[in-house]
Amino acid sequence: MGKTQTFTGGRRVVLTIYVVVVAVAALTGLILGTFVEGKLLAPKYLGLIEFPATPLGLAAYGALTLATVLGVLLGLVIYVSDRYVE
């Protein structure tokens, strides 16, 4: 067989997924902010930092929240991968 194989780095793929999913959260915030402007309460990032209920505010809030939650998981992935080689 002509086994000319091309490989892609796993890290690149994982980071791409991460960025894409966070971008989806930002997009959701942006769209919602546009459509329901003025009718939303200002969201609080981690219940602490308030973001304005504008398109950009909601986009930033959504992106940051998901980036944090998935980021913790990603950090765990990296930590575990470095430590436990199977």
Partner 1 sequence: MATGQLALTVLMGVFLIAVAAWLSRVEDWRSYAPLSGGGGYRRDTGTAHEEKPAGLIRWLTTVDHKDIGILYGLYGTIAFIWGGLAVLLMRVELASPAQDVIELSMYNGLLTSHGITMLFLFATPIIAAFSNYFIPLLIGADDMAFPRINAIAFWLLPPAALLIWAGFFLDPLTGGQIQAAQTSWTMYTPLSAEQANPGVDLMLLGLHLSGVSATMGAINFIVTIFTERNDKVNWANLDIFSWTILTQSGLILFAFPLLGSALIMLLLDRNFATTFFTVGGGSPILWQHLFWFFGHPEVYILVLPPMGMVSYILPKFAGRKLFGFKFVVYSTLAIGVLSFGVWAHHMFSTGIDPRLRASFMAVSLAIAIPSAVKTFNWITTLWNGKLRMTAPMLFCIGFISNFIIGGVTGVFLAAVPVDLVLHDTYYVVGHFHYIVMGVIAFGVFAAVYYWFPIYTGRMYQRTLAKWHFWLVMVGTNLTFFGMLILGYLGMPRRYATYDFNPAITPMQAITALHQLATVGAFIIAIGMAIFVWNIVMSWMEGPVIEDGDPWSLKDTNQHGHEWHWHENRVNRSIVAADGGEEEVATDGGEVADE
Chain contacts with partner 1 (rule: CB under 8 A)? 1-11, 13-14, 17, 20-21, 24, 27-28, 31-32, 35-36, 66, 70, 73-74, 76-78, 80-81, 86
| Cα separation, 63 vs 57, whole angstroms | 10
- Residues contacting residue 37 through CB under 8 Å, at least 6 positions apart: 53, 54, 55
Question: What is the closest distance, in whole angstroms, from the C-beta atom of residue 44 to partner 1 in the complex?
Answer: 15
Question: What is the closest distance, in whole angstroms, from the C-beta atom of residue 74 to partner 1 in the complex?
Answer: 8
- Residues contacting residue 28 through CB under 8 Å, at least 6 positions apart: 62
Which CB, 49 or 78, lies closer to partner 1?
Answer: 78
Which CB, 48 or 80, lies closer to partner 1?
Answer: 80
Question: What is the closest distance, in whole angstroms, from the C-beta atom of residue 29 to partner 1 in the complex?
Answer: 11
| Cα separation, 45 vs 35, whole angstroms | 21
**Residue type, position 39, single letter:** K
